[in-house]
Amino acid sequence: MKQDMIVILDMGSTENTVIAREIRDMGVYSEIHPHDITAEELKKLDNVKGIILNGGKNRIVDGASVEIHPDLYDCGIPMMAVDHPTAKCDQKLDKLPDEKVLRQFVFNTCQADPNWNMKNFIEDQVELIKRQVGEKKVLLALSGGVDSSVVAALLLKAIGDQLVCVHVNHGLMRKNESESVIEVFRNQLHANLIYVDATERFLTKLENVADPEQKRKIIGSEFIRVFEEEARKLDGIEFLGQGTIYPDIIESGTKTAKMVKSHHNVGGLPEDLQFDLVEPLKQLFKDEVRACGVELGLPHKMVYRQPFPGPGLGVRCLGAITRDRLTAVREADAILREEFEKAGLDKKVWQYFTVVPDFKSVGVRNNARTFEYMVIIRAINTIDAMSATIEKVDWDILQKITERILTEVENVNRVCYDMSPKPPATIEFE
């Protein structure tokens, strides 16, 4: 079932996702597109009922004002301009529209139907996947995280055993993570799962690499190389499935917004990629991905598991990765997750993890001077990963976690708690 769509044209606003989410919450599908989309490109989107020109502080790029193609004004689709001077729109606003104004535009002016829901989304994606893939096979990068798990379930529903899942242990996984992935997907869901232990390969490539962007690109590129090697062992593999979601694309940069960070499945793909991509979640926010997983019947524990970045602990072992710090961040993270689960915080806090910086601090142990690493704990709450607040963890719980880390984790003599919201900080450190 084709869903009606409201298109938001990015004219330099930092609030595009706010409007898109409000419209989706009304039951109408909404997408964000660049300001220079043509009328011909717009027609290909299907069922566009309205256009919002969303201006803002980034409307001036390289000294020139961001403008839309003039032929859009003659395409016969209702328009609303937000903080964007134009005389050709049905409605003009100098600030974000409130819910009443937005509803009036979406339902009265645009006559959009509220048919955006996960059941319809899944039906549409299953049809699109079948049409794209045909009789060929799809190789899926299965990390075991929420995004790749939901993609796996969606692809299994669409193409069944045409899906080949590959779990690559890059040596940057959380404690016992790979074992858990094998248990759930191979033994419980009976997916066609290939396990590749590439720990030494990845850590060798990352040796002495300190720049976060370079680390992400190395990890992303090496992932693709591993998949290519696995694909050559199989017949009919022409597609690569990925758990790319909307915040990944937005944070990797647009024409009117600077890049926050490149994501391994957006900015880190090599130019000579040998596959066509299948990315059925690329227009969903994180909470919508979870709702999709629930609708697909995935276990609650899997759908609401801790988010984990594609580069894994590689972006939580800050700077150039060393094996002692990698072990420290893995063990400290396991302690944090264990204690949060005991305290019931695993059901309350959206994301929590540890990082280990690439510098040491002086300390005392057994009446002797030490020079060891610190562990930083981060615990945040968010809806869509575009902004985040800090969880106010009970002092006794933090103290217990600190004591365990300082006692059980080698090469660590200090534990800190990160109090920085997003923005100005990002969720991850790198």
Q: Which of 400, 358, 394, 361 is nearest to 379 (CA)?
A: 394
**DSSP-derived 3-state class of residue 360:** strand
Higher pLDDT, 395 or 252: 395
Q: Tell me what pLDDT residue 229 has.
A: 87
Residue 257, token pair as written in the block? 């917004």
Say what the pLDDT of residue 301 is. Answer: 78
Token pair of 162 as six digits: 């045409």
- Give the closest residue to 254 by CA, choosing from 5, 6, 7, 9: 9
Rounded to the nearest 10 degrees, what angle do helices 323-342 and 395-408 cross at?
140
Predicted confidence at residue 93, as pLDDT, reads 79
Q: In this predicted structure, what is the pLDDT of residue 251? A: 64
- Tell me the C-alpha distance between 32 and 7, whole Å: 6
Predicted pLDDT of residue 214: 95
% the chain with pLDDT above 70: 91
pLDDT, tens digit (0-9, with 9 covering 90-100), for 275-325: 789 999 998 998 899 999 999 988 887 888 887 888 999 999 999 999 999
Say what the pLDDT of residue 384 is: 78
More confident residue, 250 or 73: 73
Q: Once rounded to an integer, what is the mean pLDDT over residues 104-124? A: 95
Of the candidates 159, 163, 154, 153, the residue with the CA atom closest to the CA atom of residue 189 = 153
- Report which of 107, 175, 118 is spatially closest to residue 144, judged by C-alpha positions: 175
pLDDT at 189: 78
Contact predicate 369/427, CB 8 Å? no
Confidence label for 52 from pLDDT (cuts 50, 70 and 90):
very high
Instruction: Give me the chain's average pLDDT, please.
Output: 88
Report the half-sphere exposure of 409 (CA within 13 A, side-chain side): 29
**Average pLDDT score over residue span 348-355:** 95
pLDDT above 50 for 260: no
Per-residue pLDDT of 144-156, as tens digits, reads: 888 999 999 999 9
By the 8 A CB rule, do 352 and 379 touch? yes
Write down the pLDDT at residue 62: 55
Nearest Cα to Cα of residue 379 among 403, 401, 357, 359: 401
Q: Give the pLDDT band of residue 351 (cuts 50, 70, 90).
A: very high
Q: Looking at residue 267, what is its pLDDT?
A: 40
249 — pLDDT class (breaks 50, 70, 90): confident
pLDDT over 60 (residue 106): yes
What is the three-class DSSP state of 387?
coil
In whole angstroms, what is the distance from residue 28 CA to residue 110 CA? Answer: 11
What burial letters (b/e) apply to 246-269, b meaning 16+ CB within 10 Å?
bbbbbbbebebbeeebbbbbbbbb
Q: Which range, 67-81, 249-263, 336-350, is most confident?
A: 336-350
DSSP 9-78: EEEB-S-HHHHHHHHHHTT-EEEEEETT--HHHHHTT--EEEEEEEE-TT-EETTEE----GGGGGS---
What DSSP character marks residue 98? Answer: P
pLDDT of 270 above 80: no
The region of weakest confidence among 3-12, 223-232, 398-407 is 223-232
What is d(CA 290, CA 303) in angstroms, rounded to the nearest whole number? 6
Q: Could you give the dihedral angle defined by the CA atoms of residues 230, 232, 235 and 241, in that order, rounded to the nearest 10 degrees?
A: 50
Cα dihedral 125, 130, 133, 134, rounded to 10, equals: -170
Distance (Å, whole) CA 397 – CA 339: 8
- SS3 label, residue 131: helix
- Give the integer Cα–Cα distance in Å for 429 and 27: 35
Q: Rounded CA gap, 336 and 345, in Å? A: 10
Burial 150-166 (b: 16+ CB within 10 A, else e): bbbbbbbbbbeebbbbb
Q: Is the peptide bond before 307 cis (omega within 30 degrees of 0)?
A: no
Q: How confident is the model at residue 386 (pLDDT cuts 50, 70, 90)?
A: confident
pLDDT given at position 85: 67
Q: Which residues pair with 137 in a beta bridge?
A: 237
> How many CA within 13 A on the CB side of residue 127?
8
